[in-house]
Amino acid sequence: MKVFRILLAVCMLAASGLAAATNYTLWINGRGGGGTIGDYDSFGAWGPATTAAGVNKKAVNWDGRSSISSQSGKVRDALDCFCTGANWCYVAVHSAGDLMIGYTLANYGSSARLKKNAAPNSSGVCGNTDGTSQTGWNIKWVRVASGAGGGSELSDAGSWAVSEPLVQDLKTTTARAMYNHNTTHNIWFYMYAGAKGTLYSAILPGQDDEAVAYHSTGGVSGSAGGAYCNPSDWFCNDLTLGTAANEGGNAKWSYHSVAFRDDNEAYSHSGEGNWAGIVSVVRNAVVNTAL
């Protein structure tokens, strides 16, 4: 009888666990990688895993050098794991992680997803719950640190290793033609654009963070990049805050809003393995809002 009661209690706990709604914060890395693929507690791409980074934080690792399309499955595995059924996700991305989540949502955001149990195996794949599926994932928002969804002229100009497949994807025209950037499935992308950069200012148009220019980090639409700056620069069109069209009339992609523009030119592209640079601005916002 005692065994039966314990079993009953365990079953009830399991059932309540399945039904309980949990929020997760997913961090999707950019170029370079650094974490262990499939290990959602491996924050090597970001900084110390002990640092606060949103509720139930998970590191969604991909290798950071292969093409976006070949690695998108790693991201879909994570979204299936933590962002289906009763569970919801906040998503934070850095650099090419913007291209990754944008590609994944545009191409697979309307697909049927089996509901998963948020208990990953060593490959990062979770088990099914009840065998039912849902359309797309449960995502509250995406916060983007220096997003490379619009590509980088450093890739165009051959400043990065041309043998790296990701570098080919990061060419401005390629990145912008890769998928429909307006198709986020109504999930908001909050853009954080850094501007501490002078090293490549001859190659990157307008303001940049030494890796990506404002046309990309600000989510400016179009088949190629352009020059966008801070309001203090009189000789260059302003990147506007929010969703408004930029000075000069170019619109942002749908469901893209500039949440932070680096008017003081204080934040660089790299997180320096310590949640630094523009990543620090996003992390701060995530800590305050991913609850």
Partner 1 sequence: MAGDGAFAGVLNPGQTGLAGFNGTIRTEVRFTAGGRKGFVLFDVIYSPELPATWTGQVRESTENGSLNFYLKADVRQPGRYVVTGRVDDARGRPFALATFNDMLGSGPQEVKLVVFGKLMRDGEPVLPLTLRDVDGYLLKENTDPDRGLMPRLEGRVYSSKTYPLKNFSDAEWESEERTRYLTELEKDRGMARSALQAFDPAQPLPASACEPKSAAPQPR
Please report, as ranges, the residues that interact with partner 1 according to CB under 8 A: 66-67, 69-73, 88, 107, 110-111, 134-136, 138, 140, 156, 165, 168, 171, 173-174, 177, 180, 183, 186
Provide the minimum distance between the beta carbon of 129 and partner 1 in the complex, in angstroms, as a whole number: 15
Provide the minimum distance between the beta carbon of 46 and partner 1 in the complex, in angstroms, as a whole number: 24
**CA separation, residue 116 to residues 55, 267, 287 (Å):** 19, 38, 25
Provide the minimum distance between the beta carbon of 103 and partner 1 in the complex, in angstroms, as a whole number: 9
How far apart, in whole angstroms, are the C-alpha atoms of residue 253 and residue 251? Answer: 7
SS3 238: strand
Task: Name the residue nearer to partner 1 (CB basis): 195 or 285.
Answer: 285
Task: Name the residue nearer to partner 1 (CB basis): 12 or 177.
Answer: 177
Provide the minimum distance between the beta carbon of 90 and partner 1 in the complex, in angstroms, as a whole number: 11
Task: Name the residue nearer to partner 1 (CB basis): 44 or 73.
Answer: 73
Task: Name the residue nearer to partner 1 (CB basis): 119 or 162.
Answer: 162
SS3 33: coil
Task: Name the residue nearer to partner 1 (CB basis): 88 or 160.
Answer: 88
Query: What is 110-179 written as a DSSP string?
Result: TSEEEEEEEEE-TTS-EEEEEEEEEES--EEEEEEES--TT--HHHHTT-S-TTSHHHHHTSHHHHHHSS
SS3 252: strand
Provide the minimum distance between the beta carbon of 158 and partner 1 in the complex, in angstroms, as a whole number: 10
Look up residue 268 and give its amino acid: S
Strand boundaries in 37-104, DSSP class E: 57-60, 88-94
Provide the minimum distance between the beta carbon of 177 and partner 1 in the complex, in angstroms, as a whole number: 7
SS3 191: strand
**CA separation, residue 185 to residues 41, 94, 110, 138 (Å):** 28, 20, 8, 11
Task: Name the residue nearer to partner 1 (CB basis): 84 or 268.
Answer: 84
**CA separation, residue 129 to residues 7, 14, 132, 286 (Å):** 20, 11, 8, 28
